[in-house]
């Protein structure tokens, strides 16, 4: 497993035609009163790096690109603490990076996303990168590789993410608010965004107080294993 930023151009030139380039896409945004704003980038980058190391049977070299540290978080700006790219900007960033990968000899790009608000852009970028630059692409949200269909996964700054940060960087977790989980507007098969949604839940979902480091470790391990397995498969099918 290789870090793009640590390789020379010669080494990258030799590896890229055969490699999977793995690009973590994160966010820097409010995560309630208790979690650090860098949570999404931390989790996406950690899962991606661990999975690249764990994917020992991947038949292709794995090159981990520098994480995109800020994502599409306009809906959190009102709470403060948020560094957001408009979706138009994030799409331009991902396509410029894809263009670079292709222009430098790469053929396969895997987006590993850590933020719900990036899903639309990642979907578009993976598709357009394929058409415009001739790349074979894959895109996954790391939390969807955990398996098990836990209703707490992923939420936003709720029990899931709080557990994961407790597992990785407990010193960054502040006092967790106590509350009953507020109801979510659930309409199966529909993405619903009432204008007041984030205000209504004070910027985080479910109950952070239910988080534990142990659950975080378990979830992270599952995500890493899930992604590592997919990378091995992608090494064959892309």
Contacting a second copy within 15-74 (CB under 8 A): 16, 28, 30-38, 41-42, 65-70, 72, 74
User: Residue 197 — φ and ψ, nearest 5°?
Assistant: -55, -55
Q: Which of residues 120-149 bind a second copy (CB under 8 A)?
A: 120-128, 130-132, 134-141, 144-145
Residues in a beta bridge with 113: 25, 141
Q: How far is the CB of 127 from a second copy (least distance, A)?
A: 6
Element (H, E) at 54: helix 39-54
Q: How far is the CB of 73 from a second copy (least distance, A)?
A: 8
97 vs 166, beta carbon nearer a second copy: 97
Q: How far is the CB of 225 from a second copy (least distance, A)?
A: 12
Q: Which of residues 174-203 bind a second copy (CB under 8 A)?
A: 174, 185, 187-197, 203
Task: For residue 23, give the nearest of 125, 104, 164 by alpha carbon.
Answer: 125
18, 61, 93, 217: which one binds a second copy (CB under 8 A): 93
Q: Which positions ≥6 away from 184 have C-beta within 8 Å?
A: 201, 205
47, 50, 226, 228: which one binds a second copy (CB under 8 A): 226
Spatial contact of 23 and 97, defined as CB atoms under 8 Å apart: yes
- How far is it, in rounded angstroms, from Cα 205 to Cα 32? 9
């Amino acid at each position: 497993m290789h870090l793009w930023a640590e390789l020379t151009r010669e080494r990258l030139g030799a590896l890229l035609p055969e490699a999977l380039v793995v690009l973590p896409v994160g966010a820097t945004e409010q995560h309630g009163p208790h979690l650090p704003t860098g949570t999404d980038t931390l989790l996406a980058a950690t899962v991606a790096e661990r999975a690249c190391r764990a994917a020992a049977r991947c038949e292709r070299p794995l090159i981990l690109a520098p994480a995109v540290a800020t994502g599409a978080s306009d809906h959190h700006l009102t709470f403060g603490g948020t560094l957001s790219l408009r979706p138009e900007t994030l799409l331009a960033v991902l396509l410029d990076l894809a263009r670079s990968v292709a222009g430098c000899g790469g053929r396969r790009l895997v987006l590993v996303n850590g933020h719900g608000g990036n899903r639309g852009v990642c979907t578009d970028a993976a598709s357009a990168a394929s058409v415009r630059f001739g790349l074979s692409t894959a895109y996954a949200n790391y939390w969807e590789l955990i398996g098990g269909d836990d209703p707490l996964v992923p939420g936003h700054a709720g029990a899931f993410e709080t557990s994961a940060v407790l597992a990785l960087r407990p010193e960054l977790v502040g006092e967790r608010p106590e509350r009953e989980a507020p109801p979510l507007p659930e309409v199966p098969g529909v993405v619903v965004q009432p204008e007041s949604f984030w205000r209504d839940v004070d910027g985080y979902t479910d109950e952070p107080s239910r988080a534990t480091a142990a659950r975080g470790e378990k979830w992270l391990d599952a995500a890493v294993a899930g992604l590592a397995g997919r990378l091995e498969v992608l090494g064959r099918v892309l």
